[in-house]
Amino acid sequence: MESKLIRILPACLTGPLPQGWDVAPAEYKIEVMPDVERPEVVSIAVNTTDSDILLLDGDFPDYDPFALTQETLAARPGLAVIIVSANSAPDRLHRAMLSGVEEYLIKPLEPLQLRDSIIAIASHRTLRLIREDQYTPDGNEGVGLVVGIVSGKGGLGKTTIAVNLATLVAQSPRQTASLLGLESGDGAVLLSLEPRMGLLDLAHAVSADDSAYTEEWLKQFGTVHRNGLGYWSWQGTATQPGAAIPPDFFPKLFDTFRRMSSVTIVDFPLLSEDEITSVLPLLDVILMVSSTSDLLALRSSKTFLNAIPGEFSEKVSIVINRADPTDMISREDFETAIGQSVAAVIPNEALLAAQAINMGAPFVMTQPQSEITRQLRELGHRLFELPQAETTQKPKKRFMIF
């Protein structure tokens, strides 16, 4: 049986919510995320969690819940905000409506009152679908996969593949996705993001505190794209030089992402032979991007494959990117030279890809019917058993007072 998952982020609570408010009818599943205790942390929390509704207590002292609502909705336009308060003054109700609050509920609350308000809001939105036998409290379906995107040389479109493949996962029902941009930061450009912090900041933090390898701590160093994809760059705009990276950083990092996301895609820079033998064994899937346009790409790909320890060779899938009928090497000749079948051939649609880059949105979002998207979606189906993409609907704006 499938249910619609509603993720609630409570914030600034001044007292317990009525018992039983989160018991939803069979059609829905309400997941209550960890409370945000202070107003100044709310903006960080909504950007680092995949919540649907922010449940804000308007009676928390020394802050303006309506200004906070406007700030939050500017950062997350698709979020819904419910304010609960004992103050029913007309001016507050008016400010709530102007700030974008969907419902303003008067305390004391009854369990059904709060639950029905949440369901009413959710009924006008496109939500994740989950199966009861697959649901776990953290929203993941078991242990996730860590997928490395690699290549033998630069300039083959590895980051573009990583960003768009991760977006396909993020858009799929019952799936969550994370993208780790260990490359130069081009992933942030393709997603039109400006991360303030990165994984290097996390590495410096955990060097002093091994207990920091937790999902909630990790989310503080990432940024959530509007499509639901969590993105972690290596460095952010506020990253400062610090201590050395702990030797066990990547094993523990990848294990945390396995618990947090269905699929974590890692966009690697060019790896040395030592890095190939030390890092690639930590991955569940290795996706190597190559090209049939020149012999140098073929040769570098073959050299890269030969450097992978034999016991991990079965993890490798090969993608020919930017394939064109004028390429000097055929797919068949490429496979013969490599000694391995190709998993996917992504066509060269340079104009479409350039337009997506200029828009700061992955082409699987801007051009969902294109051939390049279709081929990448088929690759996602084979690698992760992704379902067909669903059409999303723009939520209807509502305001109710109880």
- Give tens-digit pLDDT for 68-105: 999 999 888 889 999 999 999 999 999 999 999 999 99
Residues 271, 280: Cα–Cα separation, whole Å: 10
- Which has the minimum average pLDDT: 137-141, 179-183, 249-253, 259-263? 137-141
pLDDT bin (cut points 50, 70, 90) of residue 138 is very low
Mean of pLDDT values over 342-351? 93
Under DSSP, is residue 360 helix (H, G, I), strand (E, B) or coil?
coil
| pLDDT greater than 70 at residue 244 | yes
Amino acid at 190: L
User: What is residue 389's predicted lDDT score, i.e. its pLDDT?
Assistant: 45
pLDDT tops 80 at residue 205: no
For the cut 60, the answer to whether the pLDDT of residue 141 exceeds it is: no
In this prediction, residue 394 carries a pLDDT of 45
Report the range of poorest mean pLDDT among 138-142, 200-204, 277-281, 347-351.
138-142
- Does the pLDDT value for residue 393 go beyond 80? no
Give start-end residues of each CATH 3.40.50.300 domain in the chain. 145-384
Q: Which residue has the tokens 């700061």?
A: 360
Between 28 and 334, whose confidence is greater?
334
Beta bridge partners of 345: 320
Give percent of the chain with pLDDT exceeding 90: 53
Q: Which fold has domain 145-384?
A: Rossmann fold (3.40.50)
Q: What DSSP state is assigned to residue 78?
A: T
Worst-scoring range by mean pLDDT, 51-55, 161-165, 351-355? 351-355
CA atoms within 13 A on the CB side of 205: 16
Mean of pLDDT values over 320-326: 95
How far apart CA 232 and CA 75 sit, in angstroms, is 17
Structure tokens at 177: 């996705």
Q: How many CA atoms lie within 13 A of 108 on its CB side?
A: 4
Name every residue whose Cβ is closer than 8 Å to that of residue 18 and which is 6 or more positions away in sequence: 108, 109, 110, 111, 114
Residues of the chain with CATH 3.40.50.2300: 2-135
Query: Which tens digit of pLDDT belongs to each residue from 29-42?
Result: 888 887 888 898 88
Model pLDDT, residue 306: 92
Q: Does the pLDDT at position 129 exceed 70?
A: no
- The burial class, CB within 10 Å (0-12 / 13-18 / 19+), for 296 is exposed
Distances (CA, A) of 274 to 217, 271, 278, 308: 30, 8, 6, 10
User: Per-residue pLDDT averaged across 201-227, rounded?
Assistant: 78
Q: What is the mean pLDDT of residues 185-193?
A: 88
Residue type, 97: M
Architecture of domain 2-135: 3-Layer(aba) Sandwich (3.40)
Helix, strand, coil % in the chain, rounded to nearest 5: 40, 20, 40
**Whether pLDDT at 395 is above 70:** no
